[in-house]
Structure 1
Amino acid sequence: PHEYSGGMRQRAIIAMALACDPKFIIADEPTTALDVIVQDEIIDEIKNIQKKLNMIMMYISHDISVIAETCDKIGVMYAGNFIEYADTLALFDNPLHPYTKALMSSFPSIEGPKKKLNPVPGEPPNLLNPPKGCRFYPRCSYAQNICRNERPEFVEIESNHFLACHRGI
């Protein structure tokens, strides 16, 4: 196994996962540390397997491009909490949570004019001692007093678009 490439190891892991004939697979960072060409091959294999076996898959990834290419719905988490959930196209067209917006603007796009990438400001919270209210408020440019003290509820803002933010957009 130590002589296998990253793509070969990933294919072996996929084969082992499928050996049990699962109906649901959690793919945690399935393309991490793979070059772009192998990454694309793995994504295509996963999508083909998913369709062929009529399988539900949950992708966990920081790579927005992988999520956009593979998922029908997206749940965005910050510091262990869901902060936004929507259909993929709806989320990319209209991200509502300040963290989702910041996340989208921190990744390059091949479409349209070149733009400056904006990293999310500040530091992630200490999860051993998280902020009392919204966990994103110390880094949020829209933070209000309520954000510091009260955790926002996760509510449906639009049809099939859920949000945890006091701004209510």
Structure 2
Amino acid sequence: MTMMNAIEWPEGYVPGFTENFCSNEVIVPGLTTAQVWPLLSHAQAWPGYYGNAANIRLHDGNGPELETGRRFSFETFGFPVEAEVVEYVAPADGRPGRIAWHGWAGEGDTRLDVHHAWLVEDLPGGRVRILTQETQKGKPAEDLAKAKPNPMINGHQDWLDGLVAAARKA
């Protein structure tokens, strides 16, 4: 039997208790966390394989790797997002890699708050599992939840597909 890990949710962002939730996952043969992790943990690499991420800026001047507490900003889905990494655990010795950030944009009725989490783990048989999930709060999240096709599901699938393609090329 193979057990798979799950996203760890902070209070206030648990799926089912927010205005919007999306989940995307791939399980890919022939890749490892060691091949995938650097492309995900270095935010400035994202625009190279994901067309919906632009103008990545690490605020504290350190880097290039994300870490817990690191503040950064980027543009996605046509608007600027401020973010802070709230979980960062590199994969090691059979332990999955985890990255999560709290992101926010707008004010008042246009305020959107998100918890975007990633889990990257090696599976038996030479496979890697990449899971990304996001919960969203605020009026814009309500609108996104009703949109068909769902822009978050489609956008995050593009991110996963680009990540896998970039890892295969590296």
TM-score, normalising length: structure 1? 0.22
Higher relative contact order (Cα pairs below 8 Å, separated by 6+ residues)? 2
More helix by share: 1
Q: Which of structures 1 and 2 has the bigger CA Rg?
A: 1
TM-score, normalising length: structure 2? 0.21
